[in-house]
Structure 1
C-alpha cells in the first residue's frame, strides 16, 4: 500500500518568494508523491499535485462537488448568514442533476456568441484605458489596465446602469483586500459583501421590471422546460460570474505580461508574429497559473488513486497549478513557450465543471495584450522583480501592482536594465 506525506499548503506559500515563483514548491510536492495528505486550512483530506491524477479525478463522476452527496453536513445551517448561504449555493458546489439544471439555464444567457459580440467593446475600453495610461512614463499595469478592463466589461455585461457604475466599481473594489482568506479577513469583509449583495439584488429587481440586452436580464428570463432561476440562484450566479471571471482575467493579463517582460525573446516573438496570441494565451494560462486549485471534490465511494486508498467522504483538493507544471505532461514544463501546441492545461478545469467564463477571459486577454504591445514599443519593469508585491491568496496567484517603464511605439527606447 502506498504511503502519503502530510503537507501544509498555506505554510508552503507563506513567503513572498514562493508566491512569486511557485514552480519549485510544486515540483517538491510532485516529488513527494501522486497523493499527499493535507493538514492545513483546507480542512484536511488529500492533495493531488500531478497532472495524471488531477486530469483523471476532475472528470471522475465518483467524486462529488457537493459535500452533502457523500453524507457530510451541509455548510448551510440555520445559523448561516444569508450572504454565505448564497455563496454556498453556487453552481460550482453542485452535482448533476442540479448542476446540469443551473448550467443549462445559464448557458442560454452566457453563450460564446454573446461573448464574441463583446470584442468591439473590449477593444474600445482597452484603447480608452491605454490612452489614459500613456500620459505617464511609468504605468501600473494592474491599476491602469488589468483590473479596470474586466470590471468595466462585466459591469456592462450585467446591465449595471451607467449612473450606478461608479458605485458598483467602488463596492467591488472595497472587497478586493480579502486576499488572505483568513477568518479575520472574512469577518472584516462581511459588511462590504452585504452592500454588494444588496446592490445586485436591486439590479435583479430592476431587470425584472425593465429587461434589456444584458446578462442579468437574460438570466432573469432564461427558461428550460418551464424552469427558471429563483432569486437566490440568480444572485449566486451573478457572484460566480463576477468573481470567477474577473479574478481569472486580471491575473491572466498581469501574470502574462510580467512573464513576457521578463523573457524578451518571447516578447519579441509575439511582437514579430501577433498571430501567436492564441497559443501565447494558452501558455500563459498554463505557466503563470492565475488559479492554484479548484473547488474540492468528495469521494462518493471508497476509491484508490495511484495505489492510495481514498475512503468515502474524503475531501480531495486538485492542485491544477502544479499539474500544469508537471514535466510528465509538458516537455520543458518550467519554460514559457508561446508556441507550445498542443497545450492540454487544466487552468479552466475539465468536464462538467469547465469554467463558464473561459471564453470571456480568453477574449479580454487576446485583445488587451496585443493592444499593449502595439501602443508601447518598449516595456520594462520599473522595480526589480523580487520587489513586486504578490497577493497572499493561496488559491489565486497575481501581483497587486506591476509598475512598467513604457516607451510609446515609434519612440526610441533606453537600454533595459531588467
Structure 2
C-alpha cells in the first residue's frame, strides 16, 4: 500500500473489518495518508487515514456530499428514493444551510433536555426487566430499545406504532447480499410509515419534534415534503442506529476495563469524559459519510481527481498516535476532546447533545444497578455487524452478578 500509487488495491476484507477495523486501518495509516482502495461493494474509492487529514477534509468545502458530483460509475452510497434522500447527509450549502437552520429552530436544546427524565425512567424499566434473569443480551434488551424509545418519543410516534425499526435499519446498514429484496422492502416500509406519520401529525399536531418540523418556517421558507420526510428518516435512522452502537460499544469498553468502571461508580462526574473516550476508542461509525471532490484536490499530498469517492476513516484517525498518546488504550481520563465521532465543521451531528445524554444516562443507570456485571463470553467470541459503515455488536451477552441494587437502594 502506498499513498501515491494510483493502482487499485485488493478489496477490503469485510470479515477482517468486522473483527478488528483498527488493525486494518492502522496498516493503511502506517503506509501513508491516502490510498486508492476497492470498497466492499467492488467500487474504487480513496481512503484517508491520518487524523489531521481527516479533520481537515471533514470541513473542506471542495469535498461535496451531493451525489450529483460523483463521476459516472462511482460509489454513491445507499440508494434511496427522493422522499428519503433529500436529507442533510446528501447536501451542500446553500440547501444544507437553509435546511439545517430550519431544523435547528425545532430541534432545540430545551426540547432535548425535556427528554432527560424520560430517558432515565426508560433505562430503569429496561434494567428492571434485565434483573429478572442472571444472564442478558445488553444489545437486544438495553442498548437497542432505549434509543428507539427516545427517538419515537422525540418524533411523537405512539407506542402502538413503534414497528420493527431495528430490522429495517439492519437491512439498510448491513444488507444481506443473498437477499437484496430485504433492503428494498425496508426502504418501502420506512417510507410508507413516515408518510402516514407525517400526514397524521399535519392533521393533529402535538408537542413533538415532527409536528414542530411541519410547522417551522423562516420568513417565507419552509421544508418541502421530500425534505420533511427525509429529515424524519435521518433522525429516526441515524439517531437510532448510531446511538445503539455508541451505547453498546461504551458498555463493552467498560466491561473490559473493570477498574475504570469502578472509578466511574465512585465518581459519576467523570461519566461525560467516559462517553467522549468511548466515542473515540470504539465509535459507531468507522467511516464518515462519503464525499466527492468538486475539483481536482490534494489530500495529504496525494492528488485526488474530481468526482472520485473519498472515504474518511474516523477509526484510523482516532487511533493516530500523532494526535492521541497510546491511542489503542481505553482511558476515561484521557481528555478525548477533538475526536471526530460526531463530525466536524458544518456537518457536525445535529443530534450530538441527545446522543451524549442518552449514552451518559445509559451508562450511569447500568453501572449503578449492576456493579458486578461481567461479560458472559470471552471477548474473542463477540460477534460484530459485518459492515464497513458501522461498528456495532450483534449481541452483548453478560452475567448480571449478585449485587443488583434496587431503586430504593440508590
Q: Same fold (TM over 0.5)?
A: yes
The structure-2 alpha-carbon separation of the partners of 1:189 and 1:310, relative to structure 1 and needing over 3 Å to count, comes to closer
What is the rounded CA distance, in whole Å, between the counterparts of 2:360 and 2:60 in structure 1?
32
Deviation at 1:307, TM superposition (A): 2.1
Task: Render the CA deviation track for 1:18-38: whole Å, top value 9, x for unaligned.
Answer: 423322212111012101002
Provide, for residues 176-214 of structure 1, a one-character-per-residue CA deviation record: whole Å limited to 9, x for no partner: 244433655443231233122211111101111111110
Residue ranges of structure 2 left out of the alignment (5+ in a row):
406-410
Q: Which residue of 1 aligns with 2:408?
A: none
* Cα 1:9/1:381, change in 2 over 3 Å: farther
**Aligned equivalents of 2:110, 2:10: Cα separation in 1:** 43
2:22 matched to which residue of 1?
23
Superposition deviation, residue 262 in structure 1: 1.0
Q: Hey, what's the Cα distance between the residues in 2 that align with 1:63 and 1:177? A: 28
Q: CA deviation at 1:342?
A: 4.8
**Counterparts in 2 of 1:74 and 1:99: CA distance versus 1, 3 Å:** farther
Residue of structure 1 aligned with 2:124, choices 117, 121, 127: 127
1:135-154 per-residue CA deviation (whole Å, 9 max, x = no partner) reads: 11111111111000000111
Q: Which residue of 1 aligns with 2:193?
A: 199
Please report how far the alpha carbon of residue 250 of structure 1 lies from its aligned counterpart in structure 2 after TM superposition: 0.5
Using the alignment, how far apart are the partners of 1:244 and 1:175 within structure 2?
A: 9
Q: Give the whole-Å Cα distance in 2 for the aligned partners of 1:403 and 1:382.
A: 5
- State the secondary structure of the residue aligned to 1:131: helix
SS at 2:152 equivalent: helix
Distance 1:237 1:103 in 2: 10
1:16-415 alignment runs, 5 A limit: 18-40=17-39, 41=41, 43-69=43-69, 84-164=81-161, 168-181=162-175, 184-409=178-403
Structure 1: give runs of 5+ residues left out of the alignment: 412-418
- TM-superposition CA deviations, 1:367-398 (whole Å, max 9, x none): 01110011012011111111112111111111
Whole-Å separation in 2 of the counterparts to 1:210 and 1:32: 58
Q: In the superposition, relative to structure 1, how do residues 91 and 184 fare at CA in structure 2: closer, same or farther (>3 Å)? A: farther
Distance 1:321 1:267, change over 3 A: same
Indicate the larger mover: 67-76 or 172-181: 67-76
Deviation of 1:257 (Å): 0.8
CA separation of 1:364 and 1:355: change in aligned 2, threshold 3 A? same
Distance 1:232 1:7, change over 3 A: same
Q: Deviations over 1:312-358 (max 9, x none)?
A: 22221111111111111101111001011252110011011111121
Q: Supply the distance in 2 between the matched residues of 1:74 and 1:42 (Cα, whole angstroms).
A: 10
Distance 1:193 1:302 in 2: 34
Give the 3 Å change call, closer, same or farther, for CA 365–151 of structure 1 in structure 2: same
**Residues 58 and 349, structure 1, Cα contact 8 Å, conserved in 2:** yes
Cα distance in 2 for residues equivalent to 1:160 and 1:195: 15
Distance 1:87 1:216 in 2: 15
Structure 1 residues 6 and 31, CA gap change in structure 2 (3 angstroms): farther
TM-score w.r.t. length of structure 1 = 0.90
Aligned to 1:416: none
Indicate the residue corresponding to 1:415 in structure 2: none
The answer for the alignment partner of 1:414 in structure 2 is none
Cα displacement (A) at 1:175: 4.7
For 2:110 and 2:73, how far apart are their aligned partners in 1?
A: 40
Displacement of 1:68: 2.3
Give the number of equivalent residue pairs.
401
- RMSD between superposed Cα atoms in Å: 2.4
Change (3 A) 1:323 1:7: farther
Displacement of 1:123 after TM fit?
0.5
What is the CA–CA distance in structure 2 between the aligned matches of 1:142 and 1:329, rounded to whole Å? 31
Whole-angstrom CA distance in 2 between matches of 1:231 and 1:44: 34
Deviates most, 36-45 or 329-338: 36-45
Change (3 A) 1:113 1:328: same
